[in-house]
């Protein structure tokens, strides 16, 4: 196979190769990829996921991209360079290529609006680089008049009023690592990215309503039901390359809940987030908010794309790869209510005087919002509500950050939990077993964080900590055997007293 046969499509559009319009080309690429033979995903679920920033490499994706020749062969390195330029080095880089990364908990809980450098990124392929002056958006299918728009036309306020909206975006796989640590599921490092609780972020997005664009196309044809988005990136599924393609119901467009955006927190859209144009579908899973958006097509049914019909499906808890069919899955669009504790973190040693400062996020999809957040200091027996003043403001399409001083009675290991009730009074199931599903989507059970609680206000702890401090014996790691020297006089006296014949 000749290198370079899968050429870039247009001048000024690096990394964009069109597949849908060229079935022959698609077949040729599939042949190349199939000939590669066994190219199994590394088994990270049984072997354990790497810890923070010992990221997974995405080797099999690199091999496939190399096999397809230029421009694909260059993408692993160009994409990584974009990430290094645009993203904070202290992100939790989960997968190098295609890039997947989430902010660290501290950063995430720091402000209602996530800085661009920390906003989570979920890519399915390489990052295209598109000259905004060469960019065009095509709108066709079941609209009364197919149209093409330059970026200048879309950004002309005389045609299209602009809106800036605070939007929380969340990957449907957020919190997947909680499911996997209970029991493994599909073990592909890309399609089943082992996110912690950070595949969620909030930004102020600026753009125009897709409804207005459809109006300029003289409206939908009768029979139009879904709107399909095409991204310029290439995603390889079962050796078949395709442009990233998803769809959403037109009712979402009609209710003004779909934006086309070119600004993120008042800055130009970063390349890793879809420059020069992306969709933002409010209240839906992140996967529908197509990046590097270059074509929109109105359809009479959901997209036939495998991303729409074979992925992002929610299976029942007794469906695995041996007994499931795609149509058993619920196609994911809106998201359920969820929340997570950002501080303290799992296995922290927390010194306190009866109260522990706990903080985190709470979110619900589909335009619903958190109404009440509760935190339990005793594994779900009692629950303390976060005071209204300790929750950030309500938005229709964004999370609320929260914090509270949680009374903790127990010393030793304590399981903290949080849960949210949204405005429809839906809440989170208690246990991971209630929400576990084969592909690990929409994990929203109560988030549990076990910490070691030390109440330094008690007489015993005060005395012990004082001795440790005097003798220079550290408390951490908590499991390391104590090197504390006893007070010989006191201890021998107390031991003697234990004797009943004393």
CB of 84 to a copy of itself, least distance (A): 35
- Tokens representing 248 are 């959403």
Pick from 4, 316, 354, 457 the residue near a copy of itself by CB under 8 A.
316
Binding marks (x or -) toward a copy of itself, 225..264, rule CB under 8 A? ------------------------------x---------
CB of 426 to a copy of itself, least distance (A): 4
Count CA atoms within 13 Å of residue 309 on its CB side. Answer: 8
- Give CA–CA dist 207/161, Å, rounded: 8
- Give CA–CA dist 244/306, Å, rounded: 9
CB of 440 to a copy of itself, least distance (A): 13
Residues 321 to 340 in contact with a copy of itself, rule: CB under 8 A: 328, 330, 332-337
Residues 346 to 375 in contact with a copy of itself, rule: CB under 8 A: 365-366, 368, 371-372, 374
Binding marks (x or -) toward a copy of itself, 420..439, rule CB under 8 A? -x-xxxxxxxxx--xx----
- Give CA–CA dist 194/174, Å, rounded: 8
Residue 318 near a copy of itself by CB under 8 A? yes
Nearer to a copy of itself, 406 or 442 (CB): 442
Contact segment (CB under 8 A) with a copy of itself among 72-80, 151-159, 416-424, 479-487 equals 416-424
Which phi and psi (to 5°) does residue 432 adopt?
Answer: -60, -30
- Give CA–CA dist 497/492, Å, rounded: 9
CB 443 within 8 A of CB 317: no
- Give CA–CA dist 395/422, Å, rounded: 12
Query: Which residues, 6 or more positions from 431, have their beta carbon under 8 angstroms from its beta carbon?
Result: 445, 446
Residue 397 near a copy of itself by CB under 8 A? no
Nearer to a copy of itself, 59 or 163 (CB): 163
Distance of CA 9 to the CA centre of its chain: 30
Handedness of CA 259, 260, 265, 270 (dihedral sign): positive
Distance of CA 20 to the CA centre of its chain: 28
CB of 319 to a copy of itself, least distance (A): 8
- Give CA–CA dist 447/438, Å, rounded: 19
Nearer to a copy of itself, 297 or 314 (CB): 314
CB of 382 to a copy of itself, least distance (A): 7
| Number of chain residues interacting with a copy of itself (CB under 8 A) | 38
Nearer to a copy of itself, 383 or 395 (CB): 383
Nearer to a copy of itself, 429 or 474 (CB): 429
Nearer to a copy of itself, 42 or 366 (CB): 366
CB of 434 to a copy of itself, least distance (A): 6
CB 236 within 8 A of CB 153: no
Pick from 146, 385, 468, 475 the residue near a copy of itself by CB under 8 A.
385
Distance of CA 357 to the CA centre of its chain: 25
- Give CA–CA dist 358/401, Å, rounded: 11
Residue 442 near a copy of itself by CB under 8 A? yes
CB 124 within 8 A of CB 244: yes
Distance of CA 416 to the CA centre of its chain: 23
CB of 208 to a copy of itself, least distance (A): 21
Strand partners, 260: 208, 279
Pick from 65, 92, 291, 314 the residue near a copy of itself by CB under 8 A.
314
Q: How many residues does the chain have?
A: 502
CB of 425 to a copy of itself, least distance (A): 5
Contacting residues toward a copy of itself, per CB under 8 A: 255, 314, 316-318, 328, 330, 332-337, 365-366, 368, 371-372, 374, 382-385, 421, 423-431, 434-435, 441-442, 444
């Amino acid at each position: 196979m000749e290198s370079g046969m899968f050429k870039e499509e247009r001048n000024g559009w690096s990394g964009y190769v069109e597949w849908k319009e060229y079935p022959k080309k698609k077949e040729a690429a599939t042949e190349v990829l199939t000939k590669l033979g066994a190219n199994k995903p590394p088994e990270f679920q049984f072997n354990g996921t790497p810890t923070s920033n010992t990221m997974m490499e995405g080797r099999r994706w690199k091999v496939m991209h190399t096999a397809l020749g230029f421009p694909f062969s260059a993408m692993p390195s160009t994409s990584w360079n974009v990430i290094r330029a645009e993203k904070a080095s202290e992100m939790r880089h989960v997968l190098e290529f295609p890039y997947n990364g989430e902010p660290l908990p501290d950063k995430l809980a720091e402000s209602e609006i996530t800085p661009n450098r920390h906003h989570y990124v979920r890519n399915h392929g390489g990052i295209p680089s598109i000259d905004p002056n060469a960019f065009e958006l095509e709108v066709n299918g079941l609209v009364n008049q197919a149209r093409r728009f330059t970026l200048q036309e879309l950004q002309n306020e005389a045609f299209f009023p602009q809106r800036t909206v605070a939007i929380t975006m969340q990957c449907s796989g957020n919190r997947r690592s909680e499911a996997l640590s209970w029991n493994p599921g599909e073990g592909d490092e890309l399609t089943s990215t082992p996110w912690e609780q950070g595949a969620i972020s909030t930004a102020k997005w600026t753009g125009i309503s897709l409804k207005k664009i459809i109006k300029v196309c003289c409206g939908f044809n009768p029979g139009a039901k879904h709107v399909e988005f095409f991204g310029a990136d290439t995603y390889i599924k079962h050796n078949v390359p395709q442009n990233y393609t998803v769809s959403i119901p037109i009712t979402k467009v009609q209710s003004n809940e779909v934006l086309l955006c070119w600004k993120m927190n008042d800055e130009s859209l970063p390349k890793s987030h879809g420059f020069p144009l992306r969709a933002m579908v409010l209240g839906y899973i992140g996967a529908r908010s197509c990046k590097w958006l270059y074509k929109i097509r109105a359809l009479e049914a959901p997209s036939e794309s495998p991303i729409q019909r074979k992925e992002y499906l929610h299976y029942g808890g007794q469906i695995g790869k041996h007994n499931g069919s795609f149509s058993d899955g619920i196609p994911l669009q809106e998201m359920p209510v969820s929340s997570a504790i950002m501080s303290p973190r799992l296995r922290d040693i927390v010194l306190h005087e009866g109260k522990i400062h706990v903080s985190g996020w709470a979110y619900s999809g589909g335009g619903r919002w958190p109404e009440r957040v509760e935190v339990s200091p005793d594994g779900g027996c009692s629950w303390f509500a976060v005071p209204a003043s300790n929750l950030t403001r309500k938005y229709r399409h964004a999370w609320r950050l929260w914090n509270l001083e949680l009374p903790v009675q127990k010393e030793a290991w304590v399981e903290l939990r949080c849960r949210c009730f949204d405005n429809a009074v839906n809440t989170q199931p208690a246990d991971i077993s209630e929400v576990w599903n084969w592909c690990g989507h929409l994990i929203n059970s109560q988030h549990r964080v076990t910490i070691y609680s030390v109440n330094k206000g008690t007489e015993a702890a005060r005395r012990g900590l004082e001795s440790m401090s005097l003798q220079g014996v550290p408390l951490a790691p908590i499991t390391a055997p104590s090197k504390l020297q006893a007070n010989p006089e006191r201890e021998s006296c107390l031991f003697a007293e234990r004797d009943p014949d004393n």
